[in-house]
Amino acid sequence: MANTSSAQKAMRQAERRALRNQAARSSVRTYAKKATIVVAGGGEDAATVVRDAVRALDKAAQKGIIHRNAAARRKARLMSQLHKLTVAAAAPREERPATKAPSRRASAKAGGAKSTTTRRTTTTRKPSTRAKA
């Protein structure tokens, strides 16, 4: 228990801030979870839900409720999920047969002559410590 009145006041303030931060963190988690579910389900309004989640993450990071790097990481994951959904829906790619590229060794053997490159090393000299007269 706090001994001084200022310490007691600081404890009361910390308790109020903790409750406020807890509520804000909970709402951010709710937004993120809703966005993940909508994106996984392939909903049409996925972009707006993700936008709301990103906005909530930005506000929480700005107020110091969550760390800005944590907010950036969560936003990046949400946006990558949304991107996968939109790219898959926008342009289904046609499958092409895979062609194997020739290896470097095989092409060098086929050519017969081996090309070599030499590395030239240069050394830099330290400036002279003697004073020029």
pTM above 0.75, yes or no: no
Q: How high is the pLDDT of residue 16?
A: 96
Task: Determine the structural domain holding residue 61 and report its residue range.
Answer: 10-90
CATH number of the domain encompassing residue 41: 1.20.58.110
Please report the pLDDT score of residue 98 as a whole number.
Answer: 73
pLDDT at residue number 113:
61
Is 102 part of a structural domain of the chain? no
Whole-number pLDDT of residue 110 = 61
In the chain (133 residues long), the average pLDDT of successive 10-residue segments reads 92 96 95 94 89 96 95 96 84 71 64 68 73 62
Is residue 52 within 8 Å of 46, Cβ to Cβ?
A: no
What is the pLDDT at residue 4? 95
**45 close to 7: Cβ distance less than 8 angstroms:** no
Q: How far apart are CA 74 and CA 81, in angstroms?
A: 11
- Cβ count within 10 A of residue 21: 15
Query: Which amino acid would we find at residue 4?
Result: T
Report which of 25, 40, 33 is spatially closest to residue 70, judged by C-alpha positions: 25
| pLDDT of the residue at 87 | 84
Phi, psi torsion values for 62, nearest 5 degrees: -65, -35
Total tally of structural domains belonging to the chain: 1
Tell me if 84 is assigned to some domain. Answer: yes
Q: 3-state class of 32 per DSSP?
A: helix
pLDDT of residue 132: 65
What pLDDT is attached to residue 44? Answer: 84
